[in-house]
Amino acid sequence: MGIEIERKFLVKGDAWKALDRGKAYRQGYLSIAKERTVRVRTVEDHGYITIKGPPTGASRAEYEYSIPIADAHEMLDRLCERPLIEKVRRKIPYKGLTWEVDEFAGENAGLIVAEVELTAADQHVDLPDWVGQEVTEDRRYSNSSLVKNPYSRWSGASKS
């Protein structure tokens, strides 16, 4: 079984933009049940399907498989819940870890989140200067939650 251990943070400033050109991601959800999520994603010309179990703190079961790009596009266009998640992801190395910075578009425009995958839940993490408030346990910031409640619909007071 694959286990995903990650921490999630809001991003401040824009110094991170110059560190990687980024890749366009488009993703949608076939299932957003509390017990599991099933996601379809395209990253440029590659397609993936991912199944994730329920989160327990910063950890959760995760299985990801490559699928034909045409199948991914068809599932995104015909089967996935709306709105789709559109974002540019930059992968930025920092002190031995790779940070994934997602700059959202569409109904989630204005949201920028950085995630870092870990090998243990208690692993020490040095934070880059552009990393702000931690939101690991705030489920509003999960991609599957952003489908149900896009960032553009949050009130100004509840965004931070």
Task: Give the catalytic positions in this structure.
Answer: 29
E strand or H helix at 115, and its extent?
strand 112-117
In sequence order, the 6+-apart residues with CB closer than 8 A to the CB of 152 are 107, 108, 109, 110
Which sign, positive or negative, has the C-alpha torsion 128, 43, 63, 80?
A: positive
Residue 128, preceding peptide bond in cis (omega within 30° of 0): no
Closest to 87 measured CA to CA, from 151, 14, 19: 151
Enter the tokens of residue 150: 């896009």
